[in-house]
Chains A and B, each alone.
Chain A
């Protein structure tokens, strides 16, 4: 089963 990832998982606050 696949679940929806969030953007914060890939891009960090700069």
Chain B
């Protein structure tokens, strides 16, 4: 028996909007620790890892570990029917072939039940080692989204380079080149406007902008994004999900052959 009640149901709507275009089908894993998902995009170039810790739910009942295969587009369709302020409860019986999403309006005067068929998904779970990164950049998520969008009008790839001068995003395409440098800036009025660069060593990596742009669909979740980089390793783009967890996007870099 599974019953997860999330008062901030809007968070789940935003989570689905953030990942549904990158991943078609995925297993949601439910354990006493929380509600999680790990899935790769169809090209196996990007991986998304979601964690919503059990403490973040108002009520969290998960009698035994359960893996539920869902089509994320269909799940997003159902969650779109919830109001942004609705309380969302996810319910499933052990061995059931469906999951129920219950939406309660804040004033409790409207209760909706949406039942969605589950599916069998054969997916391998990858071990992601804890890594020390050469550079970690924390910046406003809207700024990062703007940079990715702007650069993708010029080129297909972004070179991200972190030095003590700052973080540089650059691209080149048929019509020319573009380069945007963001410097560390902690003297802002609001902490969410800060850009913080922690650098152990300078690092330069090349990524496909198509994926970066897809990751920025998570922007409504968090005012800040964290980009963690090490040479020749996947870059990690992380958005916090309120106080309860995170969405991490891992993107394999483009490497010299």
Contact = CB atoms under 8 A, between A and B. Distances in A.
Interface residues of B, number: 24
Contacts of A12: 126-127
Contacts of B157: 2
B233 A10 contact: yes
A14 B126 contact: yes
Interface stretch (B38-46, B71-79, B105-113, B136-144): B38-46
B141 to A, nearest CB: 23
A5 B255 contact: yes
Contacts, number: 55
A6 B165 CA distance: 30
B254 interface: yes
B255 A11 contact: no
A7 B40 contact: yes
A1 to B, nearest CB: 6
Contact of B206 (A2, A11, A14): A2
B47 interface: yes
Contacts of B254: 2-5
The 6 tightest CB contacts between A and B, nearest first, are: A14-B127, A2-B254, A11-B126, A5-B252, A13-B124, A6-B44
Given A13-B126, A14-B127, 18 more contacts: A2-B157, A2-B206, A2-B254, A2-B255, A2-B256, A4-B252, A5-B254, A5-B255, A7-B250, A7-B252, A9-B252, A10-B233, A11-B47, A11-B128, A11-B129, A12-B126, A12-B127, A13-B124
